[in-house]
Every structure is written in C-alpha cells, then in structure tokens.
Chains A and B, each alone.
Chain A
Amino acid sequence: MCTVCGCGDLVTADGKVMSHDEAHRLGLAHSHAHAFRPDATPLPFPHVHAAGGGHGTDHHHYGTGAAGVSVPGLSQARLIEVETSILAKNDAIATANRRVLNALGVLALNLVSSPGSGKTTLLCKTIEALAGAPLAVIEGDQQTSADADRIRATGARAIQINTGKGCHLDAQMVGHAIDDLRPRPGSYLFIENVGNLVCPAAFDLGEDAKVAILSVTEGEDKPLKYPDMFTAARLAVLNKLDLAPHCDADLDAYAANLRRVNPGIEIIALSARTGAGMDVWLDWLRARLAEKAA
C-alpha cells in the first residue's frame, strides 16, 4: 500500500500492471482508489493522476479538496470571506447621488414620517413660502400620482415614484429621478419618502439629512416605538401644532421622547395649516442651503 495516500499497491499504467510507486517513478498516468487526506480512508471511486504526477512537491493532485472530486469549471468547497454590507449596492449608488448633488450645491432632504403626518401639505406650504427659490420634489408612494399632482399645482417640478410593493425609496430610484429632474445648482431637492417609519431608515438615498415629520395627533410615545427613524433624522418637525389643544398633546413629552432616542436631534414645532412656526422651518432650510453653497 502506498504510504502517502493509502491506496492499493497495484495499478495499471501504460497498459501494464505495476506497483503504484513504480508508476509514479516512471511518471506514468494511472488511476486507482485514493484517499484525499492522509487520515482518511480510500475513496470508493477511481482517482486519476495526471501523467508525471507524483507524491512529491511537483505532484499534480486532483480531487484533494473537500468535495473529493475534481470537476472542470467547478472549484472545491471553500470559505469565501465576503465582509460586504447587504446594502453595499444601495450605499454605492447613494454615494454617487451625493457626489452629484454636492457638485451642484443642491440641498437634498429626505422627508420621512408615518402616512398622514402632513408631509405633502408641509411641502406645498414650504414651496409657496420659498417663493420662487429653485427647487424640485421627488414623491414616493406605493400607488397614485396624487402627491406629485399636488406639488405640481404649486408650480414646482415633481417626479412621482410609485414603489409598487416596495415600502421605501432606494438610492437607484432616486438616482434615476435626479437624472430626469436635473436639479438646478444651488436648489432645494425635497424627497418625500413612502409614509413608513420603519424601512426608509436603513436606505441612504444620498441626501444631506433626513427630516422626520411627526404630527401632534400621533402620540407622544411614537419616537420610542419607532426609534430607528428618529435616530437617523437630523431634524424632527412636529406638525399640526394647531391641533395640540384638541388632543391634549404634551409637547414637552414629544421633545423628551425624541431626545431620548436621539440626544442630538433638532426639533421645530409648527402648523403647516395655520403657518405658525413656519418661519423657523424656513430659516432652517435657508441656513442648510447656505452651508451647501459655502
């Protein structure tokens, strides 16, 4: 028996029966049952040595991998270190979006909230108040172009993205929308995400900041229930301030809970409907745009 591989000692090579060691010494192609590891039992199927293959350092040995066989085009079982973020593709596109927007000095804000917080009303009033400042809007919804229609009615340019089954906008959708919108240098780009306080938190779109919009009718504990979104946001807009007395909203509790999940978050309370507090929001926008231009 071969002391190296443990296979039977007689093989057929070059049409002759000879010892396995002799076949290797003569450099003849031969086949025999073979163990793929020194400590393993011989494999039940024949093992082929290439001509010239030996058990020395120049040994051309097939079938030594975990699979035990050699199949052209297939590799042996092995471990591939990947260490890649699952969202790597989205993040790469988001980085590209950000590069384009930075080059243009465009302030891109990703507006996130639950459905019904008043995002679109806030946007319409904001567009009116910014009075002619260059801006564009990307509207994300599962279905309908209702929101983009409302934005366009103000005279602003808007692209509606319907995500279909999707629960969030991703960087590729926004990248295509930016290509079509061609935002003007030094303009605002408002991205109204799908109304959803969970999924959009994880998807970078290339924006400068996420702005979470929360209405006073939603409950003071909402930031605690959906901490990821409020952690990811730079600013929280507390909307529908005019309704606060009617639903016993505790504005201090809203602020405390927002700061509990994100100690650094900025908070602006306003009513898009009555206009109360809108000047603070508009000043915030102008300051962020000025930072981009600097």
Chain B
Amino acid sequence: MHEMSLAEGIRTIVQDQARAHGFARVTVLRLEIGRFAGVEKSALAFAFDVTMRGSPAEGARLEMIDLPGRALCYDCMKTVEIDDRLAPCPDCGGGKLIPEGGDEMRIKDMEVL
C-alpha cells in the first residue's frame, strides 16, 4: 500500500532524532507493526532501504516486531486477541468484532553511533 510514505515518515523521525540526540549513524532500527496495520513488511523493508539513502539510517538493519491484533467482541463484550481480521471471537464464537488494537506502526527504538 503506502509503504513508501511510511518509509519517508521513518526518515523524517530519524533525522529529527539525529538532531535532538547528536548521533551520526543508525545501526539498527526497530519497528513495532500491529497485525492489522495493513503494512506489507517486505514492501516496507524494500522502501526502507531505498528511502534511507543519504540519511543517518542508510544501511541500518531494520527489525520488525509483530504486535497482536486485539478486538472487542460485540457479543460477549470482551477484548480478545485474534490473528485474522475476520476471525470469530475465540471466546464465544461471535462474529461481530471491532478492532481495538493491532493497528500500531511505530518506531520502538534505534541503536545509534
């Protein structure tokens, strides 16, 4: 989808952080990506390599941490973890679930020199 835009967002944050913390190079950058974030990880990895050229994160290793999908079941009114956006409630089998979490896409931390 919009992985290029996301990579540009990462680049902006890296540059802001480099100014704020006075580092020259990022060696590892860790992202947290929710299961429902709609991010295609291989596309993001490709966009990351291309977009970081000329930035402190050029050549950095990109690590992506999966966060589980959470949803509120309208039948049993419990928050449950589901793997698939259309999966039924694992507790009561209900089919009316509204995502409550798992759409995260954030930079967790980075190792810098």
Q: Which residues of A contact B (CB under 8 A)?
A: 67, 73-90, 166-168, 170, 198-199, 201-203, 224, 227-228, 231, 259-264
Contacts and interface: CB of A to CB of B under 8 A. Distances in A.
B2 interface: yes
B105 A86 contact: yes
Nearest to A227: B85
Contact of A76 (B86, B97, B113): B113
Most chain A CB within a 10 A radius of its CB, from B5, B24, B85: B5
A85 B104 contact: yes
Given A167-B1, A228-B38, A231-B99, A86 B6 contact: yes
Contacts of A82: 13, 17, 106-110
A80 B38 contact: no
B17 to A, nearest CB: 6
A84 B85 contact: no
Interface in B1-26: 1-2, 5-6, 9-10, 12-13, 17, 21-24
A202 B21 contact: no
14 contacts: A74-B23, A77-B27, A78-B112, A80-B111, A80-B112, A81-B109, A83-B107, A87-B9, A87-B105, A199-B1, A260-B96, A261-B86, A262-B98, A263-B74
B106 A231 contact: no
Does more than half of chain B's interface fall in helix, strand or loop, or is it mixed?
Answer: mixed
Contacts of A259: 96
Contact of A75 (B10, B97, B105, B113): B113
B36 A83 contact: no
A231 B103 CA distance: 12
Contact of A73 (B22, B103, B104): B22
B31 interface: yes
Contact of A79 (B2, B22, B111): B111
Contact of A202 (B10, B38, B74, B108): B38
A284 B96 CA distance: 24
B105 A198 contact: no
Interface residues of B, number: 37
Contacts, number: 106
Contacts of A83: 106-109
Enumerate the 4 nearest inter-chain pairs by beta-carbon distance, A residue then B residue, closest first: A263-B96, A199-B2, A82-B107, A86-B9
Nearest to A196: B1
Contacts of A170: 5
Given A74-B24, A80-B21, A167-B1, A86 B107 contact: yes
Given A75-B112, A166-B5, A86 B21 contact: no
Nearest to B113: A77
Contacts of B13: 82, 84, 86, 88-89
Nearest to B32: A83
A205 B85 CA distance: 24
A203 B97 CA distance: 22
B95 interface: yes
Interface string B78-112: 00000001100000000111110001111111111
Contact of B113 (A67, A203, A224, A264): A67
A239 B113 CA distance: 55
Given A75-B23, A228-B36, A228-B38, A86 B106 contact: yes
